[in-house]
Amino acid sequence: MLEDYAEISVYALLVEGGKTKTLSVVINDRGDLLSYSISGSSGWTTVGFDTAFSNLTLSIMSAINRSGLSPREIDIAILGLPDLDTESAKIYFEEKLREWGVFRVKPLIIPDFVVAYYAVTLGDPGIAVIAGTGSIAYGKNSRGVSARAGGWGWFGNDEGSAIWIAMKAIETSGKFFDGRGPYTAIAQKVLDFFKIKDPLHLIDIVYSLIARDVGEIGKLAILVDEAAEEGDQIAKEILLNSGRELALMAKAVYEKIRVDSEEFIIGGVGSVFSSRILKESFTSSVRNYIPNARVVEPLVKYTPIKGIVALLVEKTGLSRSFIELVVKSVQEAISK
């Protein structure tokens, strides 16, 4: 255990890669934040492999330089990255980092959904259901067996995610405008949100958003929640259904990894869990599907750094109290 050798300082590089930005921090094993740096997207599906790797190395080198250390003094490097659904994407980053050759140690590359799992469970047996722009569930049992479900992307899938809810909002609005579907308060809210009067203008707006930044459309999910809280039945059904779909993802993971006697932590991560109706539907469906689950409060204002530090703690044997300490330092630093 590293804490037994407090006089030996261990330096860790932790990277929180994302589709919009990449944050690198350098810390030591006393929990001091030595430096940090933020660069652009490290999501290859958004910006391509080369740009993703450039942004990643820029963020890393800038953080290490600011720490006053050399890259060879880094004892452990953990990189949480998006878009690692296929083995080939992980291999690309591993090989590029090896070619780059600045590290003494081999960096650990972890998909963002595994990072979210660590944030929820701190590495204990359990499942995280991530539902922000997209949705996916990932879990691991006490024997280290892991599985995923969902995460197929927003095109026809990512059930329960903000984009999925937004799709339903546009679908039910379009049907209402046509007279094909029942009244829903969502329809007027969508027009107001985009500041348009003619419903057909929606078509131009939605398709220019898809081309530019499909994630933006996910903001319509907030309108669905508003309408549901105001009593709109269509909106309520969309959210109840979303909660059930997210619970089904947890169930699919559970069935792949379960150990009957084990207590499982199950928790949500991401913005859609800020909807009370969705959260309640999710929680009751999970309890129904997985009676031995201990459902914990969702991490709504989630920062991946929490999961990355939890992973560091697991790898090094540092105390779990270290997690909150580092998360607090990082959040204070970057909010300045």
Segment lying near a second copy (by CB under 8 A), choices 22-30, 115-123, 249-257, 294-302: 249-257
| Cβ closest to a second copy, residue 31 vs residue 150 | 150
- In one letter, which amino acid is 83? D
Residue 181's nearest CA partner among 244, 224, 235 is 235
8 binds a second copy (CB under 8 A): no
Token readout for 181 is: 């579907």
Token readout for 324 is: 């909150």
Query: Max Cα separation, the chain?
Result: 73
Whether residue 121 contacts residue 267, with contact meaning beta carbons closer than 8 Å, is answered with: yes
166 binds a second copy (CB under 8 A): yes
Separation between Cα atoms, residue 162 and residue 5, nearest integer Å: 46
Q: How many CA atoms lie within 13 A of 97 on its CB side?
A: 23
Min CB(170)–a second copy separation in Å: 4
Q: What is the DSSP string of 277-327?
A: HHHHHHHHHHHHH-TTEEEEEEESS--THHHHHHHHHHHH---THHHHHHH
| Cβ closest to a second copy, residue 154 vs residue 322 | 154
| Cβ closest to a second copy, residue 7 vs residue 87 | 87
Instruction: Please enumerate in sequence order all residues whose Cβ is within 8 A of that of 288, keeping only pairs 6 or more positions apart, or say none.
Output: 247
Segment lying near a second copy (by CB under 8 A), choices 97-105, 164-172, 233-241, 302-310: 164-172
Among 91, 102, 210, 333, binds a second copy (CB under 8 A): 210
Among 140, 168, 279, 306, binds a second copy (CB under 8 A): 168
Min CB(106)–a second copy separation in Å: 24
Q: Considering only residues 256 through 315, tell me which ones interact with a second copy, judged by CB under 8 A.
A: 256
* 151 φ, ψ (degrees, to nearest 5): 75, 25
Q: Mapping DSSP to helix (H, G, I), strand (E, B) and coil, where does residue 198 land? A: coil
Q: Mapping DSSP to helix (H, G, I), strand (E, B) and coil, where does residue 82 land? A: coil
255 binds a second copy (CB under 8 A): yes
Among 110, 120, 167, 187, binds a second copy (CB under 8 A): 167
Whether residue 57 contacts residue 101, with contact meaning beta carbons closer than 8 Å, is answered with: no
178 binds a second copy (CB under 8 A): yes
Min CB(51)–a second copy separation in Å: 15
Min CB(235)–a second copy separation in Å: 15
Whether residue 138 contacts residue 123, with contact meaning beta carbons closer than 8 Å, is answered with: no
Q: Tell me, residue by residue from 70 to 99, as one string, x for binding to a second copy by CB under 8 A and - for no binding.
A: ---------------xxx------------
Among 101, 156, 231, 291, binds a second copy (CB under 8 A): 156
* Interface ranges with a second copy (CB under 8 A): 45, 85-87, 148-153, 155-157, 159, 166-171, 174, 178-180, 198, 200-204, 206-207, 210, 217, 248-249, 251-252, 255-256
